[in-house]
Amino acid sequence: MAGPTVRRGVALGLGVFWWWAMARLLLAPDAGVLEGAVAAGGWGLSLLPVHCVPKARAAGAVATGRWRQAWWVGRSGGRSAGAGLSGGAGRSGGVG
């Protein structure tokens, strides 16, 4: 029970610290490097993908190689990947 409470308290404290730095940067003419570092660090941490799981455990994960296969089939105009791009009937190249 103490674990989630401590995590929430730390998150709240760091959030307040970040907002203090942002307010100082915007409102105080003497804001400096400390406030800038705190603001940039907090913003950078918000970009981390903290809810990631290994691909094997992820619900609805795409199998390895599936995108590559879809890319090559799409590039070949719907033909199989072995047919190549230059084979088969296509546009004659004339004005039509």
Task: For residue 76, name the pLDDT band (cuts at 50, 70, 90).
Answer: low
- Which pLDDT value is given to residue 53? 72
Cβ(24)–Cβ(31) under 8 Å? yes
Q: How confident is the model at residue 78 (pLDDT cuts 50, 70, 90)?
A: low
CA–CA gap between residue 83 and residue 78 (Å, rounded) = 10
72 band by pLDDT with thresholds 50, 70 and 90: confident
Cα–Cα distances in angstroms (integers) from residue 69 to residues 73, 79, 80, 85, in the given order:
6, 12, 10, 15
| pLDDT for the residue numbered 50 | 65
**Better-predicted residue by pLDDT, 63 or 20:** 20
pLDDT at residue number 77: 61
Please tell me the distance from the alpha carbon of residue 52 to that of residue 67, in angstroms, as a whole number.
20
